[in-house]
Each structure stands twice: as structure tokens, then as C-alpha cells.
Structure 1
Amino acid sequence: MNLKSVWKLLNTFHSSSTQGLTLAEVLIGVVIAGIVIGGSGYGLAAITAANRTEEARVDRRMEMSRALEFVSDEIKSARGIARDPASVIATQAPDFTLPSGAQILLAISSSKASQSIIYYLAAPPANSVWQGPQVLYRWGPSFDAAGNYSNPNLPREWTYSPLLDLVANTASPDAENCRTTGVAADQVQIPTNNANRRGLFVCLDDIDRNQGRLASLQLSSEINKVIGGNERLDLSTQAFARNIISGSSGAGLPPGLLDPSGDLIVPDDVGLRFQVLGGAMQCGNGSNIDVATKLFLTAPGATTVQERPLDPNNPLNLDPGTVERVTVESIARGGSCGFSGPRVSTGPNSARPNDFLVLKNGDSVPSGYVPYNNQAQIDAFLRPVLGPDGRIRIRDNQLIYLFELAGGRPGQSTFDMQDNVVLVTVNPEQVAETP
């Protein structure tokens, strides 16, 4: 019954009696009108609530879609994705610190950034605008107006940025399990334990010994409906790392290539070229001391080390997939002063870890080293790779080793850090010319 019907009924009561409405008739009319008005109000509230819920659902799906698209784009431009991201932080992202209680999901190795880019889930900070229960964060370089990395080689400036709010505490009951068991087991799940999966987890396949390239991202979020409690929304996507390699285009060193010990940890798809740029070492009487360079190579999966001398007049190329670890060593070969045998090598077992330096593009020439016996300064051997500002100007996919063989400490006359200078180029087939 609508208001028109109620009015008609009241008119009928009025016309049937010249004495007016009785109290009972008035009460009946009031009750009927209240029921009609109340029902109409509830219907209007329900329609309004449904509209607001649908708007929230559409907005949330758009936010989820944009976040997954952002992550997918970063994966697509990467070399690969660590199969065990927590284990590579120390080598591939040493400037990153995982917040307490956070769950790391992705360590993306990009040839355009000096360290791996990290994605992780964490509860929002207290009294923040983020609602949680989980927030997806990204640690990585910033972007310029053109969408390119603005500080790819300055990881100490990278920020811990929230990317998506309202990520669920647990994975969706409808989420597909990664293929980690049975005959079709060809994926790694991050995190590995199903019980630890939160509202975003990763299935990673196409795996080599360290990393994968095809990532399936399964995201679950929640909205608070006006009527009826919470509603879970699920979204998934796939992204393939396209393995963009370093080269003359200006791409950088693969994250984790330069171990903190000075060794080179080489991905499967990376080739290297080693070249002696020069150096000088003399006896006190001015006669020269010969210096040799050796490489100690560990093949993928091997336990033995192969020794390779580096000809000072001919670069040495190592093809992709042939080496997993490289130790660089310089050795003094003697002279008229009988100074022979001292050696300095990179690596965790180096006896003289302070007697070599590694320089990258944009670094300043090391200062405080006085050349022994009036030899040439460090910058004389670096002159082919120095820019007008006096800084190192090599390609982003190159680095330089400086070795000091005589020993001592900075400030002493024999400690000049220019006994041997070695240039390393990543994927040299991509470089048209040497510096």
C-alpha cells in the first residue's frame, strides 16, 4: 500500500460519517502510514548502501589493477626474480633493511638499477592513514617525469614507498596453489609455506639456479560494505622478465654482480671481458717490477677453481653461462731489487682486503695516495676514462679494479694504489668500443 491508497482510505472513512473519524480509525491510518513510510525509507537506504558498495568495489578493483600493473611493468623490464628473495638481500640489495614483521615477496634484478628492487608486505604504522591489515610496499629507485629511473645508482636515496593498502591478512580460499609438488612441480612459491601466505603471494617458474622469470601474482583485498560486513576481492596476473642485458645503451651492472668481498658473482646470462689498463711498480733504484694478473674462475655448479692468466696486451672474454664466480688477483713478479711474490686478490679469503679498490662510473679518483719514487699518479692510468670534471667516465656496465702490491697503508710512500689497473665490462658484445 502506498501513500495514495492511505489517503483514499482516510477519505472513505471521512465520507462515510458526518461525525468525523474515530480514534481507532486515526490510529489505524497512522500505523499504516508508518509502515509504508518505514518500508520506503529502508528500501531507499538499501539502494544507497548497494550503490556505495558497488562504487567501493569498482574503486578497489581499479586500485588493485593499477598496483599489479605497476609491479608487472617492473618485472617485464627486469633480468629476473630471486627464487629466495630473503637470501639475496645481503648481496643484491645491501642498502635495504626488511622492517620487523614484514614479509618479503619479490627481489627484482634490473639491469637499469645498481641493486635489486624489493616488494614486501607489512602492517601499516600506528596512527597512519593506511588501514591495512597489510600494505604492499616497494623499495627502489624513484621515477622522473618520463617514467625512467631518476636515481638508479644511488640506493641510499631509495625510499620505502606504500603501493597498495587494504591487502588481506590471508590468501583467498579460492587462490590457486603453486605447482610445487607432484609430476607438474615446476614452480617456487613465495612464501614457500602455504600457512604463511598473506593477501599477495607469488608463483615463480622458468627457474635457473638462482632466479625465475615468469611470475604469477595472486592478490586478495577487502572492502567494508555498508550493509553486510566485509567482502573479499581477488585479482591475479602474470608477468615475464624479459632479460634486458647491460650494454652501451647505458644499462648498469646486474644487481649482486659485485660481491662485498670484491669477487664477481655472475648470472647465467652475463658475459664478461677483462682488460689491463696499465699500472706501475718500481724498485727504489727506479727499475720496473713486472705485475701479472690472474683470474680464478668457478664454473656453474662446480667445486673446483680454474686459474686463467690475463694477458696485459689482449682482453679475455668469458661467455655467458661459463662462469659463476670470478676472483681477480694481481701478483708482483720481481725486478732488479728482488721484490717478488706479493699478491693481492679479491674474495672473502683475501689476506689483504684493504689493498684493492673498485671504481664505477661517476666515482671520484681516489685521493691521498702519493706515487712511489715519482711514478705517475693514479689519474695518469685512468686518464682514458676521466671526464672533464675529473670523475670516472666509464659505461654503467663497467667497473675498474685498482691494486696495491707493495703494502703499507695510505699515506706511506709505497702505498700508491696504482700497481695494476684492470677494467671489467659486462656483456662486452653490446659495447661498440672500449674507453
Structure 2
Amino acid sequence: MNVSQCLLFRKKDNPNGGATLLELLLGSALMAFVVSMAGWGLVHILATDQKASAKETIQYNSNRALEFLTDEIKLGRKIDSDAVAALAEAPDFTLPDGAKPIVVFQVPDVPQRVIYYTRPIEEGEVWEGPDVLERWGPRFNEEGQYDETEINNPENWESSILIDSIDNTAHTPTCDTDWQASNPNSTEGFNACVNSEEKLVKLHLATTIDNPTWHNEINYQVETTAFARSNLTQGFTEDTPIFSVSNKKLMLEKPATVKFEVLGGEITCGAGGVEIPVETNLYIDETKHSWDGDSPLNLPNQSAGTTFDVESIAGNGSICNKHNLTASSADPDSPQLEVLVNGDPVPDVTPFADQNTIEFFLQEYIKDGKINIAENQVIYLFELGSRDKGSSAFDLQDNVVLATVESAN
């Protein structure tokens, strides 16, 4: 009789003797298998649920991000077809290392460009990688409009992340005929094509997210087209330009309130000589309007189509060898007057003798060598000492005037 026969005989002989060691081992193994299978099933269910939830989240976030971007583009006047070159129109913005500008656009009454760009995440950041999409521009208030306290202070604008989990797979966008990739270099999960009129932009966004328990990553792509509605501003009101400047003449395009003020100026009879008096006049529809240049001139409720010309006269014929010289915006060919708007370069001229520079009189209105004023303002620079651009007296700071146009509505 072998051992197994002995065990079997013992069990038959004593049915209440309990399980054998072999039975216990077999039972434990079976129980472990059942528990492990149940555990694997539970893990699989949880992973599947987590993956489905992540897919839903990434789709929602991607769609919402493009919706936010397209809504802001609607406020724009134009979308720059070359996002890299357009950064020059935002001197207060510094592109982070490794970042790529993708969508850059101009919004009426906003002094610098609004910029959307991608960048890789940095070590220690809480955001999901590999890249993020960031926005630089004025903040929005609770009503969903630009914060008025920030619009004209781009030095205070900050970047904020719109969405993370941007794919970093290299991709060169293929644009239709007469469309241009906003960033001609190879981009990653976000790129754009702009039409030749710089009014339409096609956006492509690719997001990705991964987890070791899923075995494969989740990828999501979405595309849309946005339109810069030049006839709309924030708040969806009519954006017919308030005014235009043509041949140095300012003309209202719609009813407005206009203010003119003299910012300063300096002209003397020779180096260190006596000051030459300067008179500033305003012509409304070519009719002279009374104005004491020592105080701002406010003109409410001016009708559309009204034209304005600023005139400066230096000297009254009683001093400095009867010096008397006039310059006016009514003369579009006059070299003695520069009419400047936001973003124009400051004329590169040297002041006569030891007189103050243009930058001195415009110190609040210049940034990085360019005029930094609101879109509804105009600056007039008068030269009243000489008609000759080659003369040392030609310095365009003899009289400096600022005009501000506010919509009557």
C-alpha cells in the first residue's frame, strides 16, 4: 500500500478528520486565482473608467480652449499672417525659451498685440505636458470684456495658460492656396493658417494624455475657423473707426467728442536766445475756432464727417529779425509737420542747440522708440524754426499737440 492509498483509507475511516495539507494547498491556490482574477477585473474596470473620463475631459478642455480663442479673435481687427514678425508690435512681451508664437492679432483700442503661443512645460510645474498653450494680453473682467484699467498698460499684462496636454509631435501645417502658416517653422500640437486678407484663421489643436495603466495614450484633435470681425468690438458694438487721418487731416467717421491739448514745445531765437512765442489754432471744417492753447480744448458732440486741422505759428514779427513761420495740417505736403498714431516710429532728429528732445515732450507717450498712445489718439509734431530738413534748427519739437477722440456713444 502506497502513501496515497493510506491517506485515502484514513479519510474513509475517519470522515470528520478535516482537510489534508494537499487539499489546503489546492484550495488556497484556487482562492488566490479567483481573488487575483477578481482584482484584475476590478483594476481593468477602473482603468477603463479612468481612461473614458480622461478622454471626455481632454475633449471638453480642447473644445473649450478653441471656443475661448475664437471668441477673442472675433474682437480683432486683423490676424497677423506672420506671428513671429508681429511680436515687434508687442514690445512689452518677452517670448519664453522654447516657445513658439502661433496666433497674434490686433484688437481695436488695444495698444499692443494679443498673443497665443505654445511652450514646453518646465520641471516642477503642475501642468500636464508635454506642452501648454498660453495667452498674453489684457485681463478680462467679470463681464467678459477687457479690464479697462489694463488695456493701456501692457507692461502689466501677464501670460496665463489656456490649456495643457498639448502634443509635441513635430508638424508642419499645410495651408490652402492664398493662406499662410502663421509660424513657418515646424510647430507641434497647435498651429494656424491665415488667409491673405488677414481676416480668417484656421486653427488646429492636438492634445494628448497618457497613463501606464492604459497601455496606450489618448489623442484628440480638433479644428475650427475663426473670423476677425473688424466691424465689432468687445461688447459686440459697431466698430466703424471713430476717425481717420488722411493727408494729415483728421476726420470723424462717426459722432464723437474731441479734445486737443498742447503738450509743450521749445523754440528760441538762436542758441540760448529769447523764446519765440507760439500760437496754436484749430480749424473745424476749415473754419477757425477760438482756442487758448494754454488750456485743453474740449469739443463735445461733433458730427460724423467733421474735419479738423491744427495750425502753429511761431513769432509775431516783433522779435528775432521779425521771425514769423506757420505750419498746418491743412498742407499735406508740408515737411514742417508730422502727424503720428500709435506704433509710428519717433522721428530721428537732433534738437537745436541745447533744447529738449521730442522724447522729452512725449516721455509719457513713447516706448522702445515708437509712439505708445491709445488707438483713439493722434500726435502732431511741428517744426517752426526752418523749412529746410537739413538745417540744424529742424527738430520737430517746437510745438507738440495731442488729440483724443472719444465716441459720442
TM, length-normalised to structure 2: 0.63
Aligned residue type for 2:206? S
Report deviation, 1:251: 7.0
Q: Is the 8 A contact 1:357 1:402 kept in 2?
A: no
Report deviation, 1:405: 3.1
Could you tell me which runs of 5 or more consecutive residues in structure 2 were left unpaired when the two chains were aligned: 1-10, 249-304, 352-356, 367-372, 387-393
Label 1:351 to 1:220 Cα distance change in 2 as closer, same or farther (>3 A): closer
> What's 2:204 paired with?
218
> What's 1:399 paired with?
378
Q: How does 1:161-240 map to 2 (within 5 A)?
A: 161-170=160-169, 178-180=174-176, 185-193=177-185, 196-205=186-195, 207-208=196-197, 212-225=198-211, 226-240=213-227
Q: Is the 8 A contact 2:117 2:134 kept in 1?
A: yes
> What's 1:108 paired with?
105
Report deviation, 1:57: 1.8
Label 1:253 to 1:228 Cα distance change in 2 as closer, same or farther (>3 A): farther
> What's 2:152 paired with?
153
> What's 1:61 paired with?
59
> What's 1:279 paired with?
312
SS at match of 1:143: coil
Label 1:364 to 1:121 Cα distance change in 2 as closer, same or farther (>3 A): closer
Q: How does 1:300-311 map to 2 (within 5 A)?
A: 309-310=331-332
- Note the aligned Cα RMSD (angstroms): 4.4
Aligned residue type for 1:277? V
Q: How does 1:5-44 map to 2 (within 5 A)?
A: 17-44=15-42
Using the TM superposition, name which of 95-104 and 228-237 deviates more.
Answer: 228-237
Report deviation, 1:139: 0.9
Aligned residue type for 1:203? C
Aligned residue type for 2:194? L
Q: Is the 8 A contact 2:83 2:183 kept in 1?
A: no
> What's 2:275 paired with?
none
In 2, the alpha carbon distance for the partners of 1:128 and 1:147 equals 28
Q: Is the 8 A contact 1:119 1:138 kept in 2?
A: yes
Report deviation, 1:244: 3.1
Count of residues in Structure 1 that have an aligned counterpart in Structure 2: 313
> What's 1:45 paired with?
43
Q: Is the 8 A contact 1:275 1:422 kept in 2?
A: no
> What's 2:93 paired with?
96
Could you tell me which runs of 5 or more consecutive residues in structure 1 were left unpaired when the two chains were aligned: 1-12, 264-271, 295-307, 311-327, 332-342, 367-393, 408-413
Label 1:251 to 1:125 Cα distance change in 2 as closer, same or farther (>3 A): farther
Aligned residue type for 2:324? I
In 1, the alpha carbon distance for the partners of 2:170 and 2:348 equals 50
Q: How does 1:66-77 map to 2 (within 5 A)?
A: 66-77=64-75
SS at match of 1:242: coil
> What's 2:115 paired with?
118
Q: Is the 8 A contact 2:230 2:239 kept in 1?
A: no
Report deviation, 1:131: 3.4
SS at match of 2:314: coil
Aligned residue type for 1:238? T
In 2, the alpha carbon distance for the partners of 1:179 and 1:67 equals 22
TM, length-normalised to structure 1: 0.60
In 1, the alpha carbon distance for the partners of 2:378 and 2:338 equals 18
In 2, the alpha carbon distance for the partners of 1:234 and 1:95 equals 32
Aligned residue type for 2:146? Y
Q: Is the 8 A contact 1:170 1:199 kept in 2?
A: yes
Identity %: 28
Q: Is the 8 A contact 1:188 1:203 kept in 2?
A: yes
Q: Is the 8 A contact 1:113 1:252 kept in 2?
A: no
Q: Is the 8 A contact 2:380 2:401 kept in 1?
A: yes
SS at match of 1:74: helix
CA offsets 1:127-178 (integer angstroms, 9 cap, x no match): 2223322111111011122121111111111112222112111257xx9x53
> What's 1:313 paired with?
none
Q: Is the 8 A contact 2:82 2:181 kept in 1?
A: no
In 2, the alpha carbon distance for the partners of 1:35 and 1:142 equals 59
Q: Is the 8 A contact 2:315 2:324 kept in 1?
A: yes
SS at match of 1:279: strand
Q: Is the 8 A contact 2:133 2:166 kept in 1?
A: yes
In 1, the alpha carbon distance for the partners of 2:210 and 2:124 equals 20
Q: How does 1:249-288 map to 2 (within 5 A)?
A: 275-282=308-315, 285-286=318-319
Label 1:56 to 1:329 Cα distance change in 2 as closer, same or farther (>3 A): farther
Q: Which has the larger radius of gyration?
A: 2
Aligned residue type for 2:219? R
In 1, the alpha carbon distance for the partners of 2:30 and 2:365 equals 92
Report deviation, 1:329: 5.2
Q: Is the 8 A contact 1:188 1:204 kept in 2?
A: yes
In 1, the alpha carbon distance for the partners of 2:165 and 2:222 equals 13
SS at match of 2:125: coil
> What's 1:320 paired with?
none
Q: Is the 8 A contact 1:67 1:164 kept in 2?
A: yes
